[in-house]
């Protein structure tokens, strides 16, 4: 007998991976579970399971909290892979798996909780193969949590599952706990000192989503596409460990530590076009004054004296003849 586990993974900003936990807390192990409750049963109902899940996913997205599992009478939901460290139990974060329980647990709800803990910590075939410690949240922090949730009842259910109280003898191996998608294998988010403008050099240019890519055989989905010639502002880079490849990243993706970026070979550094030189200013050409040649001065013709005397006498003789004829 087993129960389905709904998987709704929280944003990476809301939990630590094992290496990150060792660096942050100085230790990391999976020794048991820390038990939480949603809230006062007068304020919240068992049917609020999905509302609680959405509330915690919102906290993870804002980078302020998370939990590994949420359990109610009707459902089990995983938000953070049990190998990773959710932020719910303060001092218990690096060593325990955190489980949020409905404050209205019935016998069926405790049965589900016992099954989940046994699947994780059964000494023979559990994920961590050890007898689990089961802590109340108030072990790590001053709080009334887990309120009405009984750790003793949970322990009894875990023991019953461990000794086969709910499962008849069978030759079939127990169903393994569902394995969630691998944690993103993207590291080394680097903000460059000087970002720059790049231009897409192919049609289309893909803005890749490498969130769940860990080997070359994995599909690399497109987050967005850009046309050849479009300008992109690049501010840094990140490395996909599985592919051993660096990708260029925008400011928005860097701020969210989102593993979405461009293959460097698809971008060229944008070089602004050089402005054309201004033509030299041309001064207006002054009009050309045309000087007409001065005609030569022709001196009056001088006649010899004898010639002039001849004509004067001739004129006087003609005048005399004309007077006589009258």
Which whole-number Å values give the CA distances from 177 to 4, 112, 125, 216, 282, in the listed order? 9, 13, 10, 27, 85
Q: Which CATH architecture has domain 6-162?
A: 3-Layer(aba) Sandwich (3.40)
Q: The tokens of 23 are what?
A: 């660096």
End-to-end CA distance of the chain: 172
Q: Where are the beta strands (DSSP E) in the chain?
A: 6-7, 15-16, 32-37, 69-71, 76-78, 85-86, 96-101, 133-136, 186-200, 205-209, 222-226, 231-240, 245-249, 260-262, 267-269
DSSP, res 112: H
pLDDT tens by residue, the chain, 326 residues? 889 999 999 999 999 999 999 999 999 999 999 999 998 888 888 889 999 999 999 999 999 999 999 999 999 999 999 999 999 999 999 999 999 999 999 999 999 999 999 999 999 999 999 999 999 999 999 999 999 999 999 999 999 999 999 976 555 666 776 665 555 567 778 888 777 889 998 889 899 888 888 888 888 888 888 989 899 999 989 888 888 889 998 988 888 888 889 999 998 888 877 777 777 777 677 776 766 677 676 666 666 777 778 877 888 887 777 776 65
Q: Quick check: pTM over 0.85?
A: no
SS3 call for 170:
coil
8 A C-beta contact, residue 86 and residue 98: yes
């Amino acid at each position: 007998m087993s129960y389905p586990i709904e998987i709704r993974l929280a944003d990476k900003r809301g939990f630590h991976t094992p290496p990150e936990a060792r660096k942050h807390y100085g230790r990391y192990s999976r020794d048991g579970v820390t038990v939480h409750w949603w809230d006062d049963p007068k304020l919240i109902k068992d049917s609020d399971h999905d509302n609680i899940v959405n509330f915690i996913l919102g906290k993870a997205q804002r980078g302020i909290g998370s939990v590994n599992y949420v359990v109610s009478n009707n459902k089990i939901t995983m938000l953070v892979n049990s190998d990773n460290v959710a932020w719910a139990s303060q001092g218990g974060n690096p060593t325990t798996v955190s489980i949020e329980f409905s404050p209205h647990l019935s016998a069926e709800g405790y049965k589900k909780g016992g099954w989940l803990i046994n699947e994780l910590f059964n000494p023979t075939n559990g994920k961590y193969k050890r007898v689990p410690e089961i802590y109340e949240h108030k072990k790590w922090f001053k709080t009334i949590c887990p309120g009405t949730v009984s750790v003793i009842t949970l322990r009894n259910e875990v023991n019953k599952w461990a000794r086969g109280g709910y499962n008849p003898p069978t030759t079939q191996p127990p169903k393994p706990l569902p394995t969630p998608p691998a944690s993103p294998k993207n590291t080394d988010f680097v903000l460059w000192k000087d970002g720059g403008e790049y231009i897409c050099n192919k049609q289309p240019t893909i803005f890749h989503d490498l969130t769940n890519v860990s080997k070359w055989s994995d599909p690399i989905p497109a987050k967005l596409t850009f046309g050849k010639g479009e300008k992109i502002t690049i501010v840094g880079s990140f490395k996909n460990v599985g592919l051993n490849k660096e990708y260029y990243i925008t400011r928005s993706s860097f701020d969210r530590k989102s593993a979405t970026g461009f293959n460097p070979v698809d971008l060229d550094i944008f070089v602004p076009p050089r402005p054309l030189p201004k033509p030299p200013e041309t001064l207006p050409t002054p009009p050309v004054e045309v000087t007409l040649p001065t005609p030569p001065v022709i001196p009056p013709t001088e006649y010899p004296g004898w010639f002039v005397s001849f004509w004067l006498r001739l004129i006087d003789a003609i005048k005399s003849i004309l007077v006589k004829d009258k």
